[in-house]
């Protein structure tokens, strides 16, 4: 066993010596020689690199390396390549003063095919876009090819689409009136109102094909409220206001407008009006009557256009009392009437006080007629048909102060012609705390010509 062990030991020692002689020793000598070349201020290396035979050998090695690299296509710059330039603008060359062109796309794609380096160079050239030359073409339909400047001759350029079908029309002109529209109107202070706008001109010239102008319904000066800045009451002039053309459905149209922009003087005002709050109950109480219905404020100031404010005499506020049988307080958000931009008070408190119900008859209320056609008159068939007894229900304190002049009984004769008729009696009153009803439900009348 000991003999076999010695044989294995000698075998591995022999392999180690062979490895040292063939690999370790030569590599060590190589590193020592390289170190010697770079020592002594690099004189040895300088002598080696400047030797004529050394230069020839080095040049040959580099040439062979480059040859094999190119031959095996290891240099990526010589590989063929293709790259697409998307969305290049289409430039149309034609007489814009005389013609209108339809069917031209806004952009086209360009494919560059060639070596990677050449394609890279071609991309660096500042080419504006694809050209469509229509000079020399007359009115009608045409198929025209795109052109693109070939900046690098070694690269193949392909435009997609390569051609396009276009239609050329005669350009005509028409005069149109201007109207005004607003952008960002919500940015105007809610208490302010645009009272008037005076444009620098009343009309403009619209140019385009005949069928295009036939679609133009409106030309608007688009006033951007944001450009008014921190506006207060007074006048301000805005310059270079853009103009837009629209069809009857409000869609924008691409037509030429001359001039492109105009100026406008805008008068800003802050009309306001103080109006009383009128409380109106809605629904029926549960076995009770309204004794009082009062608001925390009696009047508010409203802001809006002068026309809208002129038609508003009070601000109605509806209070839902349906099913209520005890005193209650409400917080109610005020609703802006049409044409009103702002209200001085946003929310009010309303207090409802209930009371026991009492009834009272108000006799001899004259029955009036409404909606009588022109040339006709209405008469009661008897004295009993000319007046009504009105039942009023409410709080005793309210009914005791009720005046009969505030009650109205009437009949509606809309659509009725000459002859005798039986119609319904209706009743109304000024005080919403009281309910009104007529004891007589119907009366007989006669309609005759005047």
Domain-ending residue, one of 50, 71, 92: 71
More confident call, 43 vs 262: 262
Q: Rounded to whole angstroms, how far apart are CA atoms 256 and 205?
A: 8
**What is the structure's pLDDT at 216?**
94
Residue numbers of the domain that contains 114: 80-170
More confident call, 7 vs 379: 379
Torsion of CA 309, 311, 317, 321, to 10 degrees: -170
Same domain, 257 and 278: no
DSSP three-state, residue 122: helix
Which CATH number characterizes residue 106's domain?
2.170.120.30
More confident call, 122 vs 445: 445
Q: Tell me: pLDDT of 29 over 80.
A: no
Same domain, 443 and 391: yes
More confident call, 72 vs 170: 170
CB 209 within 8 A of CB 174: no
Same domain, 146 and 213: no
Q: Which residues contact 160 (CB under 8 A, 6 or more apart)?
A: 108, 109, 110, 111
Query: For all residues of the chain together, what is the average pLDDT?
Result: 84
**What is the structure's pLDDT at 77?**
44
Same domain, 212 and 155: no
Neighbours of 298 (CB within 10 A): 9
Same domain, 301 and 381: no
Look-up: residue for tokens 């037509």?
Answer: 255
Same domain, 166 and 177: no
DSSP 135-181: TT--SEEEEEE-B----STTSEEEEESSEEEEEEEE-EEEEEEEEEE
Domain-ending residue, one of 218, 245, 269: 269
CB 177 within 8 A of CB 155: no
| Count of the separate structural domains present in the chain | 5
Same domain, 323 and 379: no
Q: Tell me: pLDDT of 2 over 50.
A: no
Average pLDDT estimate for 164-186:
92
Q: Tell me: pLDDT of 345 over 60.
A: yes
Q: Tell me: pLDDT of 73 over 80.
A: no
CB 227 within 8 A of CB 266: no
Tokens (6 digits) for 9: 């030991």
**What is the structure's pLDDT at 232?**
78
* Of the candidates 227, 225, 263, 213, the residue with the CA atom closest to the CA atom of residue 243: 263
Same domain, 257 and 279: no
- Summarised one tens digit per residue, pLDDT across range 292-340 is 999 999 999 999 888 889 999 999 999 999 999 999 999 999 999 988 9
**What is the structure's pLDDT at 74?**
46
Helix (H) / strand (E) containing 333: strand 328-333
Average pLDDT estimate for 215-241:
88
Domain-ending residue, one of 170, 201, 224: 170
pTM: 0.55
CB 379 within 8 A of CB 446: yes
More confident call, 190 vs 349: 349
Same domain, 323 and 300: yes
Average pLDDT estimate for 47-64:
53
Total length of the chain: 450
Tokens (6 digits) for 448: 């005759």
CB 422 within 8 A of CB 443: yes
Distance of CA 82 to the CA centre of its chain: 41
Q: Tell me: pLDDT of 33 over 50.
A: yes
Q: Rounded to whole angstroms, how far apart are CA atoms 233 and 195?
A: 10
Same domain, 212 and 251: yes
Which CATH number characterizes residue 258's domain?
2.170.120.40
Same domain, 299 and 330: yes
Helix (H) / strand (E) containing 54: helix 52-71
Same domain, 405 and 436: yes
Portion of the chain with pLDDT greater than 90, in percent: 56
């Amino acid at each position: 066993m000991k003999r076999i062990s010695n044989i294995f030991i000698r075998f591995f020692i022999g392999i180690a010596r062979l490895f040292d002689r063939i690999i370790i020793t030569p590599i060590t000598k190589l590193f020592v020689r390289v170190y010697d070349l770079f020592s002594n201020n690099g004189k040895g290396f300088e002598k080696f690199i400047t030797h004529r035979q050394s230069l020839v050998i080095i040049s040959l090695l580099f040439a062979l390396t480059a040859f094999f690299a190119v031959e095996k296509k290891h240099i990526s710059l010589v590989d063929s390549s293709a790259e697409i330039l998307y969305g290049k603008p289409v430039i149309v060359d034609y007489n814009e003063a005389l013609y209108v062109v339809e069917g031209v796309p806004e952009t086209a794609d360009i494919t560059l095919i060639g070596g990677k380096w050449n394609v890279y160079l071609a991309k660096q050239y500042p080419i504006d876009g694809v050209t469509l030359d229509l000079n020399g073409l007359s009115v009608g339909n045409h198929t025209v090819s795109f052109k693109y400047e070939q900046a690098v001759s070694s690269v193949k350029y392909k435009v997609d689409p390569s051609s396009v079908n276009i239609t050329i029309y005669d350009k005509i002109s028409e005069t149109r009136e201007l109207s005004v529209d607003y952008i960002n109107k919500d940015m105007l202070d809610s208490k302010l109102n645009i009272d008037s706008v005076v444009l620098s001109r009343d009309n403009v010239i619209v140019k385009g094909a005949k069928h295009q102008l036939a679609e133009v319904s409106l030309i608007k000066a688009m006033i951007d409220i944001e450009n008014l800045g921190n506006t207060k009451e007074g006048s301000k002039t805005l310059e270079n206001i853009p103009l837009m053309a629209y069809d009857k459905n409000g869609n924008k149209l691409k037509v030429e407008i001359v001039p492109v922009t105009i100026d406008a003087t805008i008068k800003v005002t802050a009309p306001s009006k103080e109006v009383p709050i009128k409380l109106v109950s809605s629904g029926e109480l549960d076995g009770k009557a309204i004794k009082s219905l009062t608001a925390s404020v009696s009047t508010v100031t409203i802001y809006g256009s002068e026309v809208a404010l002129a038609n508003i005499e009070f601000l109605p506020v509806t209070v839902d009392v349906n099913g209520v049988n005890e005193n209650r307080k409400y917080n109610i958000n005020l609703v802006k009437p049409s044409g009103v931009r702002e209200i001085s008070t946003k929310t009010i408190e309303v207090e409802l006080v209930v009371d026991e119900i009492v009834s009272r008859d108000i006799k001899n209320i004259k029955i009036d007629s409404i909606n009588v056609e022109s040339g006709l008159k209405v008469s009661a068939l008897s004295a009993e048909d000319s007046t009504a007894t009105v039942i009023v229900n409410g709080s005793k304190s309210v009914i005791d102060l009720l005046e009969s002049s505030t009650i109205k009984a009437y009949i509606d004769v809309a659509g009725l012609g000459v002859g005798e008729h039986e119609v319904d009696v209706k009743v109304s009153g000024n005080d919403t705390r009281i309910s009104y009803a007529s004891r007589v439900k119907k009366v007989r009348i006669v309609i005759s010509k005047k």
